[in-house]
């Protein structure tokens, strides 16, 4: 009990080295101790070591409980370990937890984040009341697919509402972030508007930042600049840095300089903004002329 408490304490402060040291010195490793060290690695986003620990736990003859299974599903989701995820699913069935709502939600999220959407939907359709986290995982997975369309996402949002779960700010943040990473410009714009017009939700700064990042990545620098200026609250450093990164990619010094000055005005000495602006100015000096904004 003392060992697991120490492991938990060290892990929560980000000291996974000392947490691991306590674990290795522990003479009696029960399921609570194993879960604590696995949780520590999951919180540090080290899915590989978390799964390695699970294999070691099995060799020691310790059976996973619900808490351990949920942690391991998260680890599989982090690194796309579909094969390991299927094994964890088997452990859940063997432990009699197949009907547990939290476990099923974790399984749906794992399959979705590993790109196995058919399996994710199969389990989702069996759940009477999927949680908003479960819906968020499968919506984000669809949004991240470059060959997917926004109709399937809208259909999922409608199915979500029919089952009694309203999309929240986190759902739309996940969708917009996934659209940004996949470069799905029109889809991202559509969902941003849908959030405001259809679901009557006010986007916060994080939602604006996602769309600004997407516009910047797509070369729509003027649109991103206009959106930054339209944020109801004062834009934060994340939005300015996202646009500055787009300016560096598409060589727009004028907008880039505004972004850099805005970061400085935020009174935050961010090294990345200096590097981005330096690279942008170096390109202008090398080429002698400034390329037009896209």
- When the pLDDT of each residue in the chain is averaged and rounded to a whole number, the result is 89
- Of the listed ranges 210-224, 227-241, 254-268, 270-284, the least confidently predicted one is 270-284
Cα distances from 29 to residues 20, 24, 25, 35, in angstroms, run: 13, 9, 10, 10
Residue 293's pLDDT is what?
A: 42
Please give the structure tokens belonging to residue 281: 């100015």
pLDDT at residue 294, as a whole number:
40
Model pLDDT, residue 151 = 72
Q: Which residue has the higher pLDDT, 212 or 273?
A: 212
Structure confidence at residue 241 (pLDDT)? 94
User: What's the confidence (pLDDT) of residue 285?
Assistant: 64
Above 50 in pLDDT, residue 227?
yes
Each residue's pLDDT tens digit, 97-151: 988 988 988 999 899 889 899 999 999 988 888 888 888 888 888 877 656 566 7
* CA terminus-to-terminus distance, the chain: 61
Predicted structure pTM score: 0.72
Which range, of 25-29, 126-130, 195-199, averages the lowest pLDDT? 126-130
């Amino acid at each position: 009990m003392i060992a697991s408490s120490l492991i938990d304490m060290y892990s929560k402060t980000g000291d996974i080295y000392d947490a691991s040291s306590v674990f290795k010195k522990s003479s009696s490793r029960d399921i609570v101790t194993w879960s604590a060290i696995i949780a520590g690695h999951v919180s540090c986003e080290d899915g590989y070591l978390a799964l390695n620990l699970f294999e070691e736990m099995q060799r020691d003859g310790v059976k996973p409980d619900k808490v351990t299974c949920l942690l391991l599903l998260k680890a599989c989701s982090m690194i796309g370990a579909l094969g390991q995820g299927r094994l964890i699913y088997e452990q859940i069935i063997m432990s009699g937890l197949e009907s547990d709502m939290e476990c099923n939600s974790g399984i749906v999220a794992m399959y979705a984040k590993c790109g196995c959407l058919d399996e994710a939907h199969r389990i989702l359709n069996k759940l009477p009341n999927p949680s908003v986290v479960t819906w968020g995982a499968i919506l984000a997975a669809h949004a991240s697919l470059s060959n997917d369309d926004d109709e399937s996402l809208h259909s999922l949002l409608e199915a979500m509402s029919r089952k009694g779960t309203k999309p929240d700010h986190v759902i739309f943040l996940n969708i917009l972030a996934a659209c940004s990473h996949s470069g799905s410009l029109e889809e991202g714009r559509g969902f941003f508007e849908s959030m405001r017009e259809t679901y009557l939700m006010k986007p916060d700064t994080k939602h604006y930042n996602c769309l600004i990042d997407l516009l910047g990545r797509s070369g729509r620098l003027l649109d991103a600049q206009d959106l930054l200026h339209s944020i109801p609250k004062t834009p934060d450093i994340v939005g300015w840095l996202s646009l500055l990164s787009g300016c560096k990619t598409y060589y727009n010094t004028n907008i880039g300089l505004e972004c850099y000055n805005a970061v400085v005005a935020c009174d935050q000495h961010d090294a990345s903004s200096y590097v981005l602006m330096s690279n942008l100015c170096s390109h202008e000096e090398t080429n002698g002329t400034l390329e037009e904004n896209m």
